[in-house]
Structure formats: structure tokens, C-alpha cells
Amino acid sequence: MTVRTRFAPSPTGYMHIGGMRTALFNWLYAKKHGGKFILRIDDTDQQRNVDDALAPILQAFRWLNLDWDEGPEVGGDYGPYFQSQRSDLYTAAADRLLAEGKAYRCFDTSEEVQADKEAARENGTPPAGMRRSLELSDAEIQQKLDNGDPWVMRFKVPQDRKIEIHDEIRGHVEWDAALMFDPNIMRSNGSPLYNFATVVDDAQLKITHVIRAEEHLSNTAIQVLLYEALGETVPTFAHIPFVMAPGTKKKISKRDVEKYRKSPAFKILFDLSNQVLPQIGLDEGALNPVMVEFYEQTGFLPAGLLNSLGRTGWSFDETTEFMSLDFLIENFSLGRVVKASAAFDPEKLMSYQAHWMNELSSDDRTERCTPFLQKAGLLPADPSEDDLAKVSKVVESLGDRIKVASDILTYGYFFKDNIEYDAKAFKKRVKKGNVPELLGEFRPVLAELSEWTLESIEAALQQFAESKEIGTGLLINALRIASTGSPAGPGVYDCLVIVGQETVLTRIDAAIEKATAG
């Protein structure tokens, strides 16, 4: 048997981080067993522009290098892969259940159905009243149809049995059919309800393993009955824990994004958002950490996010943290998925990201950082060799300070004509005592250097400091602020070399002028 898993998103205009984790587990299981991963689009909302709403979802899969074997843009032997194009399948299945007496048209009003359910809950019995439409004769049914009376199609639950499954994560699960309502499976306009549509789809797509979030466990009993009623093979089920927002017991949700902005656990990601998005032409609220696109746009590596998602609710052993996609494929198993809800951890995500960024060569990191400088207008669209060489020097000098590619924007002073001073640092390091005078005296020393290297600058500063009987730290700190405006960054000699001799001299002049102004 060829393993076939699927992920079936609705075209919402974004890819949810929790949904991506579910998709990843399906993808990994299929790849581990040499099977197929199918992408099916549940686009029953006809008011939505599906193409525009689907694009971010497909892009999320592409960015993470999670290819799909069948689905949109790929095709396959079991298409179409959009629910909106599968109405004939639903109609045929519903007509068959109706003809075999396994489903019926229910003409009860919504008020009658609600009253039946409330009475059943109070008595602890199934709502027998809901089946009053079964007492109608064929002529009476036809008369109601002719009159245009509203109706829904309900599946007739066999109430004399128990439904049992072995869930690959939760073990033995069973339900008492005697306590189940007859579910609505089809509206009178021919549109199917979720439980019915997903069974018809999964059966027709030959899905062997349904790996999905735990909130769908309650749907499983009805779905098993529908598989059986349609004469289809019941797939293997695995209900994985939902992804919690850190510091909560709730599923991570786009609706709660404003709450997350105030959460200490999310601070590292929202600080990144506030720093990066405006510089690359996006509003601060355009993307958020609940969306996969956020991580692409702010410069994460696919390896970092995949490592984080793979470790959310699953582990290889008690110690292994850093896992490549190949490692995950080779070692993934449903048996090591935890039952308890798993929290998305931004701090761990950053540690995974930093690890995989450090695994890249300097050239690779430069290649990833360069587009952010271009988007921020700090590099031209067609950078020269000198431009790229400068980016390479900055990246190399920063080392592990660059955890995500957009961190390069923090050091934009290397690429700007005019810099802004950190006010507190300028007052402490430049505008104090005789520092402006010392800078003025040291400037000609720098101007006379015939070689502009780390070694020559350091030697000149050491000699000057000795001649003035001062510690080198006084000038080092002043030169850093004067040449970059920032108290943080690479070593000061690296900064001076990268900024360049002429620009350093100009910036020293500007710093002295500012420090001595009234």
C-alpha cells in the first residue's frame, strides 16, 4: 500500500503557523514511507478570490521546500484538487446514501431541531424527534419539495453500536452511537457539510493516513460511519496536539495577535517586526508571527522554522535539538508525537535559526542579507562589485550577530551617507571632557595613514594614546560613535576599515562639530 497523506487548507490569504506544523507532519510521514503528499484546497467560500487567497499558502510551501506530489499547479490522477470543482462527487455520494436509506431529507425547522437537541441533552438520550421526517410518505415528501419547503439531508446514524478506532497517537478511542445526533451532510442547494465533504474527498483521493489537529477528533466518529456507509476503507487516524501560544493554554490564533504584542514570550519576534517591516516598505501590522510569511519576509531560514515546527510536539530523543529536514524525514514517526498540547517557543526558534545561520558560509549569508539592504534602499537594485564586497565585509565582521538575514539592517550605518547618533552614547562617549579635542588631534594621524588596515589603525591609535598618556578605550569608544553613531557592532577597527578612510574623516569632523556646538 502506498502511503498517501494530505493537507487541506482553506484559501484564507495567509498560511497559519499551526497549520504549517500539521502540514509538515503529513509531509514528513509521506516522505518517510516513500508515499505521496497531497495538497487539496477546501475553497467552499465562493465569495473569496481563490487565486489571490491561495497564493500565500502555496508560497509558504515553496519557501519551506515542502513540495506536494498532487494538487494545485501540479495536477495528479485524482483531481480536481479544489472542493469547489468536486460538487458532482458529493451529489453522487449523497444520492447513493439517500437511495440506500442511509440518509434522509429532514424538513424540520431550526427551532424544532434545537428543541429536540435540548430535550435530548436533558434526558441523556438521542433526539428521536429529529427523525420525524422519516415518517413521511413518498408523496408527502414530494409535496414538500414541490412547495419549496426548506430541508437538509441528514445521515442516519446506526444507533445500536459503538464506533472504535486505533488512533496512532491517542490509542484506543470509542464513541457510543446511541448518543449521537443525525448530522446534516448536505444543504438543499447541493453544498456539502464538512464531515461529508472530507470523507468523500479523502476516499476518492485514496488517503491512507489522516494526520490532523486534535480538535478534529470529535468529528471522527461520524466520519468513520460515513466511510462505512459509502463502502470505503477507513483510513488510519492520528490526531496531533494543537500548537499553543507561549504562556497560554490556548491554540495560537491570528485573532489574538494584539494580545501577543503584549506578551514577553513574543517580544523578540515583534521587536524584529517593528524594526524590519517599515524599512522594507511594509506596515508594522501587515505581517505577524502567526503567519508563515512573517518568517520569510523578516529573513529567517527555512531550516530554522522547520526545525522549530518539527520540535513542536515531537522529539527524536531527550537531547537532540538541531534537526535538518533530511534528519526529520529519516527519523519522523507518529509514535513520538506527544499527546499534550505543544507551545510554540519563539526563544527556541531563535536558537534554531541562529544555529542554521551559522552553518552557512559567509558567501551564503551575504547573499541572504543583500536583498534586505536593497529593499531598504541602502543598496541599488543592481549593486556593483564594490557594493557586494562591502556587504561581504560587514557580514563577515558581524559573525554570529546576524541571526536572521534582516539583522543586517541594524548596521545600516555602513551603507548610509548620513548617520544618526545614539543620543545617550554620544553624550557619554563623545560629548564629554576633552574627547572632542582628542578626536581633533587624532584626525590628522588617521588622515596621514597610507594603508587603511586594522593593523595600521590600531598601531596609530596605540601610539597616539601613549603619547597623550590616556587609555585606548577613551578613543576607541569615541571613534565608534563618531564613525557609526551606534554603541554596538563589530570591533571598532573593523568598523573604521569598512566605513573607509575618507568617510571616517568626514564623520569625525561632523561628530566634533556636534559635540562642540553650543
* Distance separating alpha carbons of residues 369 and 382, to the nearest angstrom: 15
> Could you confirm whether 254 is annotated as catalytic?
yes
* Distance separating alpha carbons of residues 347 and 321, to the nearest angstrom: 13
Please, which residues bridge with residue 243 across strands?
A: 342
Maximum CA extent, the chain: 112
Cis amide prior to 80 (ω within 30 degrees): yes
Helix or strand holding residue 29 (H, E): helix 17-32
Q: What angle do CA 399, 402, 406 make, to 5 degrees?
A: 145
CB 188 within 8 A of CB 160: no
Catalytic residue among 32, 254, 393, 514: 254
CB 226 within 8 A of CB 183: no
* Distance separating alpha carbons of residues 260 and 245, to the nearest angstrom: 8
Q: What angle do CA 85, 91, 96 make, to 5 degrees?
A: 145
Cα 448 to Cα 268, 460, 465, 474, 513, distances in angstroms: 44, 10, 17, 21, 21
Exposure string for 420-452, b = 16+ CB within 10 A, e = fewer: ebbeebbeebbbeeebbebbeebbeebeeeeee
Residues acting as catalytic residues: 254
